[in-house]
Amino acid sequence: MADCIFCKIANGEIPSQFVYEDDKCVAFRDIEPQAPFHVLIIPKEHIVSAMEIDETNSSIVGHIFTVAAKIAREEGIDKTGFRLVNNCGKDGGQTVGHMHFHMLAKRNLQWPPG
């Protein structure tokens, strides 16, 4: 989508630090990291939020989880663990209208989140 910041990151219009890319998704470092390791995994297709996931596009979610496991092995956090979280809508804390999964690691993450 023309004025979507994450579409621009995915297509290289806005520079970012990629940690992974394939034909369906990209993962890049969050500009305001909330943990020593904090990347965002997003579909290349513009999907506004988890509320737009249905039978036609739900395979992207499984793909993103597969990519997260790949990144975890590469980063050496497959044994220590990580958090994969999606904020959906205003009350969910979503601030960018392009669905994304936060992948956070390398510190002891608390529960419940604020």
| Residue list 67-86, contact with ligand AMP (CB under 6 A) | none
E strand or H helix at 60 = helix 59-75
CA distance 38 to 93: 16
C-beta of 30 vs 45, nearer to ligand AMP: 30
Shortest approach of ligand AMP to residue 4 CB, angstroms? Answer: 11
State CA 21 to chain mean position distance: 12
Q: Is 12 left (phi over 0), alpha (psi -120 to 50) or beta?
A: left
β-sheet bridge partners, residue 18:
28
Cβ(1)–Cβ(46) below 8 Å? yes
96 binds ligand AMP, rule: CB under 6 A = yes
45 binds ligand AMP, rule: CB under 6 A = no
Contacts with ligand AMP, 4-43, as mask; x by CB under 6 A? -x--------x-x-------------xxx-------x---
Applying CB under 6 A, the site for ligand AMP has a residue count of 12
Note the residues at the interface with ligand AMP (CB under 6 A): 5, 14, 16, 30-32, 40, 87, 93-96
